[in-house]
Amino acid sequence: MSTPDLPDYAPLPDVAQGAALNDQGYHVERVERNLFWVTDTVYLSAFLATPDGVVVFDAPPTIGNNIRRAIDEVTASEGTTNAVTHLVYSHHHADHAGAASLFPGAVLIGHEDTRRRLLRDDDPTRPAPTVTFSDTYTLEVGGERVELAWRGPNHTPDNIFIHFPDHDALMLVDVINPGWVPIFNSNLSEDMPGYIDAPAQALEYKWVHLIAGHLGRLGTRADVELHQAYIADVVAASYAALSSVDPTPYLAKYPPNHWGWVNGYLEEVTTTATKPVVEKYTGVLGAADIEPLTYTTTFMLMQSLRLDKGVGSQVHP
């Protein structure tokens, strides 16, 4: 069997290093007091162990039954019940919610749009929430308080902020990847203006620990600021490329093929904007050297500048 010719990548910076896993493939650790996080180094979930029951926050299928194992491990050590009484959805995506069916009988809580989407998707692994809210909701279980808030679309139209005011923690999923660049297309986000604004909204809360949904460790406020700097550089490079790249050669080469010249022009704009960002963040953020990741994020943000902000738009005389 031949060995495929695979690329070599830059060494990961220290900020991209995650937790070591146990023999069963998970790591569980205390956030503050009775709030815990569990990871398989790619996805994160969290749970609150109260005297009246356990509240789970997201159920990624890649962690799956290891969420239950982590709960059993922690509650046995803490001397509290291991019964999962509530599960909160950060948003409707299957990669963060697809193990929800492992907790039958739990009260399912989520944004009203999460319910609408899960009813539409009809996925038995993601039952629709029965408790919903439009703007804010306070969850109180076992003497603990969690504040849920929808602050507009970002990664998805239904993605929410989950604040643990008594645990110095915030959960915001699929916006910031602590220590890493976003995966393709700005973490596959649907609303670019909201995606850009979400980190600043996160910093408005009082917290020390960020549960970001991905990549093996808790985040910090410095991680959010580094993410903001990366995105700001992508936006600035996109502005510069939109103002400097000349579409004329593509119009001349492909006059009857409209998508041909659009493809060539936007490809050059995106490549031009991507290059300085890749150079600046290689060795600073994990996977910054994997150019397609920054390229696709740049394409999404550049298109948002054109379509949402009107950059480069001209009215025909």
Summarize pLDDT for 139-148 with one digit per residue, the tens: 999 999 999 9
Q: How far apart are the first and last CA of the chain?
A: 63
Report the C-alpha gap between 198 and 182 in whole angstroms.
14
The pLDDT value given to residue 317: 84
Report whether pLDDT(314) > 80.
Answer: no
How many percent of the chain have pLDDT more than 70?
Answer: 99
Which residues does 293 contact at the CB level (< 8 Å), separation at least 6?
Answer: 181, 182, 183, 184, 287
Q: How far is CA 231 from CA 57, 59, 131, 223, 247, in A?
A: 27, 28, 35, 12, 25
The pLDDT value given to residue 5: 86
Question: 20 is written with which tokens?
Answer: 């070591």
The pLDDT value given to residue 56: 98
Question: 36 is written with which tokens?
Answer: 């815990």
Report whether pLDDT(191) > 70.
Answer: yes
Q: Compute the average pLDDT of residues 98-114.
A: 98
Question: 299 is written with which tokens?
Answer: 């394409």
**198 and 224 in contact (C-beta within 8 Å)?**
no
Q: If you search the block for the tokens 């985040």, which residue do you land on?
A: 219
Report whether pLDDT(26) > 90.
Answer: yes
Write the pLDDT tens digit of every residue in 45-85: 999 999 999 999 999 999 999 999 999 999 999 999 999 99
Q: How confident is the model at residue 1 (pLDDT cuts 50, 70, 90)?
A: low
The pLDDT value given to residue 96: 98
Report whether pLDDT(104) > 90.
Answer: yes
Report whether pLDDT(293) > 90.
Answer: yes
Q: Compute the average pLDDT of residues 150-173.
A: 98
Write the pLDDT tens digit of every residue in 222-244: 999 999 999 999 999 999 999 99
Report whether pLDDT(313) > 80.
Answer: no
Element (H, E) at 279: helix 258-281
Q: Compute the average pLDDT of residues 295-306.
A: 95
User: Would you tell me how many other CB atoms lie within 10 Å of the CB of residue 42?
Assistant: 14
Q: What residue type is 96 in one-letter code?
A: H
Q: What is the mean pLDDT of the chain?
A: 96
